[in-house]
Homo-oligomer: A and B are copies of this chain.
Amino acid sequence: MIEDLGAPRAVVLLSGGLDSATALAIARAQGFEVHALSFRYGQRHAGEVEAARRVARAQGVAYHRIMSLGLDQVGGSALTADVPVPKGRSEKEIGRGIPVTYVPARNTIFLSFALAWCEVLGARDAFIGVNALDYSGYPDCRPEFIQAFERVAQLATRAAVEEPEPPFRIHAPLIRLTKAEIIRRGAALGVDYALTRSCYDPAPGDEACGLCDACQLRLKGFREAGLPDPVPYRSVPTGA
């Protein structure tokens, strides 16, 4: 049983990275009772689930659900299959095309589960920390994708049939922010980024590699925000 605290409920997709930790803080700042949803989906960087747990605890969510999904059964990505994670790519390379770390239909799948859980909770709001500026070119991080999924959500549920105006909303509060803006926003809301993890290929001691796209985008974001990145790195590229 989930206690009814009176505030409207929202499901927040929480990966354990800095974006979703910030999206969670924004949902709370907007007055939602937050139900965080994370996935073990066969990702090689499974430490991110531990990071999600730390973030959920630190920010005080109503409930944190961790679902297991066998996306590795589907394959097709360096994050879930035996394909090397690219390292040391330049900023230009990161901005061009879709890298092998793309997981087929991942955000569609995650949002579908968020939708299911919203329905069970009677929630009409789901948050996802996607970002279409300092990102890896994933198709399912773009505003048009989020809009299209919101339309699905408005048609797919019991409320869509039983209630005249289903105001189901998919919130993507970071979608047009730079990584530096996201970090500044989160810092202002008290997000403890030491708890988050972004690296696609961390070392056994939980050190970030410093070289994968996710590390590089994160390091650049902290640099531009003028703040130190509190997580440990194994190596940081020259100039970072």
Contacts and interface: CB of A to CB of B under 8 A. Distances in A.
Contacts of A148: 148, 151-152, 154-156
A116 B161 contact: no
A162 B103 CA distance: 15
Interface residues of A, number: 47
SS class, residues of chain A in contact with chain B: helix
A135 interface: no
Interface stretch (A61-69, A83-91, A186-194): A61-69
A152 B152 contact: yes
B139 A98 contact: no
Given A104-B119, A104-B120, A116-B104, A155 B144 contact: yes
Interface string A103-132: 111111101110111011000000000000
Given A109-B109, A140-B156, A104 B97 contact: no
Interface in A146-183: 148-149, 151-158, 160-162
